[in-house]
Amino acid sequence: MRAFEVFSAKDSRDAVALLAKHSISSKVKVIAGGTDLLADLKFSAHSPNVVVDISRAEDLKSILVTDDGLRIGALVTHSQIMRSLVIQEMFPALVDAAHTIGAVQTRNLGTLGGNLVTAVPSMDSGPTLMALEAIISIQGPDGRREVPLTDFFLGPRKTVLKADELLAEIVIPKQNLGKPTHFLKFGLRKGQALALVNSAASFWVDWEKHTFVATRIGLGAVAPKVIRATQAETFLEGRKITPEVMAEAGLIAANDAKPITDFRASAGYRKNLVAVLTKRALEGAYALAQAKR
């Protein structure tokens, strides 16, 4: 790895100040868990001059239920998400998603914020958060600004973050707390595998009419960024919950997806996977809804 200087921030404000200071004259990168940054820098031609280490910012490590909803600090690790009783109770899908990431060692280092900021389309935390209509709270020199997750990603490895900004918190809005959600990942291995396709489905059940309410479906690895399967969502609104409807929603979601062919899988195979995984994610969310009832 090429030489660089490292500055450790005491908290999020300090981190932003360091970013503002150094990004004027140097190529700056932020390190939290380092599972993506360092893996990327080890054998690459490009390198930063300065790395700002934010791993000690304790103010970014909490999981809180507030009036706005569930606020997850950017530095919460995937392991911590798996162990959080609050998240286990409210959103087992987030636990599932965290569990599919890498291996024990990488989950102990890797952070939720880092996973989002790296912004690879195959990220495992994105689809569930997308389905839960998460909002990203960004900290800059002038304070906080909020961006819905749907607007946060610009493309592969590109987000709306400016050079002096930090992803501070991920907020799941109050109205979605406890919403039945299920996440499925398909990779070539059970562990340490990149997703071929990710699918997360979230909906409320109208128990009287037995219909879908406010369905949101997040898809990963099938477009330049994590997307919502909007056509499938529209199709499901107000429709009766049956296996046939779920299967059809899966097929429509496959149309929402625009996957590519690469050495891991063909576009056709990925579309097939979207249909199957989405159907199963809907089934899983429904099972959760029934259990909670």
Q: Interface residues with another protein (CB under 8 A)?
A: 1-6, 8, 31, 33-35, 38-39, 42-43, 51, 53, 55-56, 79, 102-106, 108-109, 190-192
Pair of tokens at residue 212: 């879908």
| Rounded alpha-carbon distances, angstroms, from residue 145 to 70, 141, 158, 184 | 17, 11, 18, 31
Least distance in Å: CB of 35 to another protein?
A: 5
Q: Do 57 and 15 form a contact (C-beta atoms < 8 A)?
A: yes
CA 148 – CA 119 distance, rounded (Å): 15
| Rounded alpha-carbon distances, angstroms, from residue 193 to 103, 121, 262 | 9, 14, 15
Least distance in Å: CB of 115 to another protein?
A: 14
CA 154 – CA 148 distance, rounded (Å): 12
By beta-carbon proximity to another protein, the closer residue of 76 and 129 is: 76
Least distance in Å: CB of 270 to another protein?
A: 22
Least distance in Å: CB of 46 to another protein?
A: 12
Least distance in Å: CB of 193 to another protein?
A: 10
By beta-carbon proximity to another protein, the closer residue of 56 and 157 is: 56
By beta-carbon proximity to another protein, the closer residue of 108 and 272 is: 108
Least distance in Å: CB of 197 to another protein?
A: 21
Q: Which residue is associated with the tokens 């590519």?
A: 260
| Rounded alpha-carbon distances, angstroms, from residue 131 to 71, 112, 150, 180 | 16, 16, 10, 10
CA 237 – CA 255 distance, rounded (Å): 17
Identify the three-state secondary structure at position 223: coil
- The terminus-to-terminus CA distance of the chain in angstroms comes to 54
By beta-carbon proximity to another protein, the closer residue of 2 and 174 is: 2
By beta-carbon proximity to another protein, the closer residue of 31 and 93 is: 31
Least distance in Å: CB of 31 to another protein?
A: 6
What is the phi/psi pair of residue 279, to 5°?
Answer: -55, -45
